[in-house]
Structure 1
Amino acid sequence: MSATAVEGPDFVALQVRDVPAAAAFFEERLGLRRAPASPPGAVVFATSPIAFAVREPLPGVDLTGDARPGLGVALWLRTPDAGAVRERLLAADTPDVGPLQDSPFGPMFSFTGPEGYRLTVYGG
């Protein structure tokens, strides 16, 4: 058995039904920029320190009907100013934007993103 250990998350991708709409949401409402290249069926963003993408569902993943993608997954997005991002989402009529709260990581809030994913933004 190898003594090599996993170092931690290096890439995060949300599986979505509508890749162009999800990509537009992250670009227009959260200000992410697309990476120079993306594989077919996905949009990769130039995020740091961990790469982030939206992609078509993998074989065997069923997102039809009332399936809520990401149930049980907590995805936190870092920003220098959570309050400003929250105001931008409210101005864009983003559904279900929660109140700004204190957390061990600084100000934070949660909201419902593309296709029902629950996302948290923190920092400031």
Structure 2
Amino acid sequence: MQTRLDFVSLQVRDLEVARQFYVQMLGFQEAGPRPGAAVFQDAAGAIFAVRVPFSDTDMSAPLGVGVSLWFTVTDPDDLHARLQAQGLQVTALQDGPFGRVFTLTDPDGYRISLHGKPGQA
């Protein structure tokens, strides 16, 4: 048996705030309307979503603790500058094994790392 990651979904406190963050700040495009969720799919078929909480979720607890998501971007330097200009708190850009990388925290406390490809200047 072989297992592979197929889909990532984060539960969020306010779906519209989360949708706007991922669309307006990070440039995601919605794959289409879904009840209770904002679903984003890239050209390679990877799916990422933010959704209303499951009924048994304790929404008073911190949501993003222990979770870090990594997304590839075409120009991490440009995105870093644009996010800083929007007033978002982002870490300093640095070179890493996945290329240029920086991290920010979304409205629900999830840590988002955005990186280029290795060797990309």
Q: TM-score range by the shorter chain?
A: 0.7 to 0.9
Aligned equivalent of 1:85, options 68, 79, 85: 79
Aligned equivalent of 1:55, options 51, 55, 58: 51
**Structure 2 matches for 1:30-109, cutoff 5 A?**
30-38=26-34, 40-47=35-42, 48-64=44-60, 67-94=61-88, 96-109=89-102
Give the structure 1 partner of residue 7 of structure 2.
11
* Number of residue pairs matched by the alignment: 116
Q: Distance in 2 between matches of 1:115 and 1:73?
A: 11
Q: Distance in 1 between matches of 2:8 and 2:36?
A: 15
Note the C-alpha offset of 1:114.
Answer: 1.8
Q: Does the 8 Å CA contact 1:69/1:115 hold for their aligned counterparts?
A: yes
Note the C-alpha offset of 1:44.
Answer: 0.4
Q: Does the 8 Å CA contact 1:75/1:118 hold for their aligned counterparts?
A: yes
Note the C-alpha offset of 1:112.
Answer: 1.1
Note the C-alpha offset of 1:49.
Answer: 4.1
Give the structure 2 partner of residue 112 of structure 1.
105
User: What secondary structure does 1:76 align onto?
Assistant: strand
Structure 2 unaligned blocks of 5 or more:
none
Structure 1 unaligned blocks of 5 or more:
none
- TM-score normalised to the size of structure 1? 0.86
Deviation track 1:17-65 (CA, whole Å, cap 9, x = no partner) reads 1001100011001111111232x1101013244201110111221122x
AA of the residue aligned to 1:13? S
Q: Distance in 2 between matches of 1:49 and 1:90?
A: 29
RMSD: 1.4
Deviation track 1:56-114 (CA, whole Å, cap 9, x = no partner) reads 111221122xx3213112210111111111111111111x3100011101000011112
